[in-house]
Structure 1
């Protein structure tokens, strides 16, 4: 019985250490240092620049989060065509999957596609999973 409670406590500790807490984060690409996700305008694709902006992660059901820019716009990604992400007014949910060293992959709820850094244009896109570093993001909490 004691070992059962010890395993339960260990599982709780492991889960809390690797689950993302709700709050404001800077979203940096793991691929290239010094680039953070930024919103430059209402109809401009989301891209990674040297400017620092904050994104609020609000939990929904099943471990997913809606990701909203400090201006109020959500990350909205086209699920067909070029799959580029823009600021938008409809919430789109993403599941953060811990990859170690404060890095996460973000999986879109409806499609199962992953957010990805496109190094050619420094754009944020949706893409099929390929285990590349372009799919990993450092999430830096506002209070850090």
Structure 2
């Protein structure tokens, strides 16, 4: 699976990247709106994991822009400031799921499952796959 992580905190990027690459996923990273738009124009991703607060950029705005451009990837928005308002704004921006930091790799998998997007191991394989519920 091709996954794009959009996050400006290198510790979080490395945590997610290590976990996903250990499951044989191809992982790309971006830390700004410009990089995200460049990466999504260059290739299609199965999943985009997108931080809401990216320095001067806003993940909600990036999510809306991606949807307006026809990007159909599953989008998970994440934030350190988890509130009901932000969760609603995430959904309204076109995100498939929302996750408050800090979280574990298992929390990431559970979040997709709760939203009808199942991250699971393929039968007889160690590759994590995303399936619509």
TM-score w.r.t. length of structure 1: 0.26
Q: Which has the higher helix share?
A: 2
TM-score w.r.t. length of structure 2: 0.27
Q: Which has the higher strand share?
A: 1
For the pair shown, which has the larger CA radius of gyration, 1 or 2?
Answer: 1
